[in-house]
Amino acid sequence: MILGIESSCDETAAAIVRGGRELVSSVVASQIATHSPYGGVVPELASREHLRNLVPVTRAALDKAGLTYADMDAIAVTNGPGLAGALLTGVSFAKSLAWALQKPLIAVNHIEGHIHAVLLEQHQKSAGAVEFPVLALVVSGGHTHLFLAEQRDDGWHYENIGHTRDDAAGEAFDKTAKLLGLGYPGGPIIDRISKLGDPKAVKFTFAQLKHEARRESKRAGRVEEDRKRFDFSYSGIKTAVLRYVETHEMFSAIEARRRALMKIAAPTEEDYKELCDRQTLDLIASFQAAVVGDLTQRTMSACEEYGVRTLLVTGGVAANSALRASFEQRGPLVGVKVHFPSRIMSTDNAAMIAAAAYSKWIARKFAGLDVAAEANLQLR
């Protein structure tokens, strides 16, 4: 029975997972209302909110399960990557719990958590083991990564074969929504209103990134096989949207929309429809189609290159309906089984952290009480 704790960005979460495959309880406290007026996550405010929420959220997860701290076998916590201050609150809390309760502490990489969100739900559906090779596309507000995932006796191992060279895909959604006066977080809003516009109206092009083979191939005197990389880049499209807005003199309409939406607590599709003209709706739909098209095309090329049998698409942007539809259509054409987490498990939660901790529990890979929060923690 593992208690997971997550505080890497703007969600404070606690969850209990039994045996790495049975979700017992999960509680997420979102900070959207706190950060919304600023159009993005304010790191200092995030840390303060975590401090306020960690104890009640954890107690709520235990209460929901009808369990106590004493019933837990280990405490798992996200120790990176993420916002340094935000991570620190969760790591300090988890260390204190582990020390006070005399339970093992397990440090989990947030990205590994997102991958296990899918695997946990596969177990819950009794869907059977996934077929290898497994590729994971982790696509969120902070990450756009491709990892080959392998399960060995001592747990899971990962090889990064691609990442974004600048902005993450979710970041592009959020920044574009902010630029167009649509509110925060941008991903779900753009997802909802993209169907109102023409996705082919505005043409966006992506940089032709070279998919180079790795250079650092000489290790331990042995020449390793060169592996192709599949990198992404999403800062260009954000600039292209800005150019479009400038060229078409859309700024005053954007400002009017921003002010109008600020006065509405929970804008509906009708509100957006009323506040966005055709040109804006077409721009939004075209932006989403371009990002989804690029993510799909690069990921499917990687699947072909590595003979992938199972693709896991996870992270906040995996909640996007167009992205799901695109992968669901392309995967079967090349014999790749595609799995997504449910929408609720796509965004940050602690169930994925408790689930990812299980193989470390089995392999007795425990963290010491000196474990640090690492904003740039790498996944291997």
- Contact in structure between 361 and 106 (CB atoms under 8 Å): yes
User: Given candidates 39, 104, 185, 199, which one binds ligand KG4 under the rule CB under 6 A?
Assistant: 185
What binding mask, one character per residue, do residues 96-115 give for ligand KG4 by CB under 6 A, x or -?
--------------------
Residue 140 binds Zn ion (CB under 5 A): yes
* Least Cβ distance, residue 40 to ligand KG4 (angstroms): 9
171 contacts Zn ion (rule: CB under 5 A): no
Q: Is 170 a residue that touches ligand KG4 (CB under 6 A)?
A: yes
Q: With respect to ligand KG4, which residue has the nearer C-beta, 39 or 316?
A: 316
- Minimum CB distance to ligand KG4, residue 268 (Å): 16
Residue ranges of the alpha helices (H) in the chain? 32-35, 43-65, 84-101, 110-124, 169-179, 186-194, 235-247, 251-262, 269-275, 278-306, 321-333, 343-346, 351-362
Q: In the bound complex, what is the minimum distance in angstroms from residue 87's beta carbon to Zn ion?
A: 12
Please tell me the distance from the alpha carbon of residue 89 to that of residue 110, in angstroms, as a whole number.
15
Stretch that binds ligand KG4, among 97-105, 138-146, 224-232, 366-374 (CB under 6 A): 138-146
Give the count of beta carbons closer than 10 Å to the beta carbon of residue 376. 8
Cβ atoms of 81 and 4 closer than 8 Å: no
CA distance 175 to 10: 16
Please list every residue from 342 through 361 that binds ligand KG4, using CB under 6 A. Answer: 347-348
140 binds ligand KG4 (CB under 6 A): yes
Question: Site residues for ligand KG4, window 195-214 (CB under 6 A)?
Answer: none
Decide if 354 contacts 321 (C-beta within 8 A): no
The answer to whether 167 contacts ligand KG4 (rule: CB under 6 A) is: no
* 234 touching ligand KG4, by CB under 6 A: no
39 binds ligand KG4 (CB under 6 A): no
Q: Could you give the C-alpha distances from 279 to 174, 215, 245, 282, in angstroms and in order? A: 19, 45, 10, 5
**CA–CA dist 98, 352 (Å, integer):** 19
- Token representation of residue 261: 């939406």
Tell me if 108 sits within 8 A of 79, measured CB to CB.
yes
Return residues touching ligand KG4 (CB under 6 A): 9, 140-142, 170, 173-174, 185-188, 191, 315-317, 319-320, 347-348
Return residues touching Zn ion (CB under 5 A): 140, 348
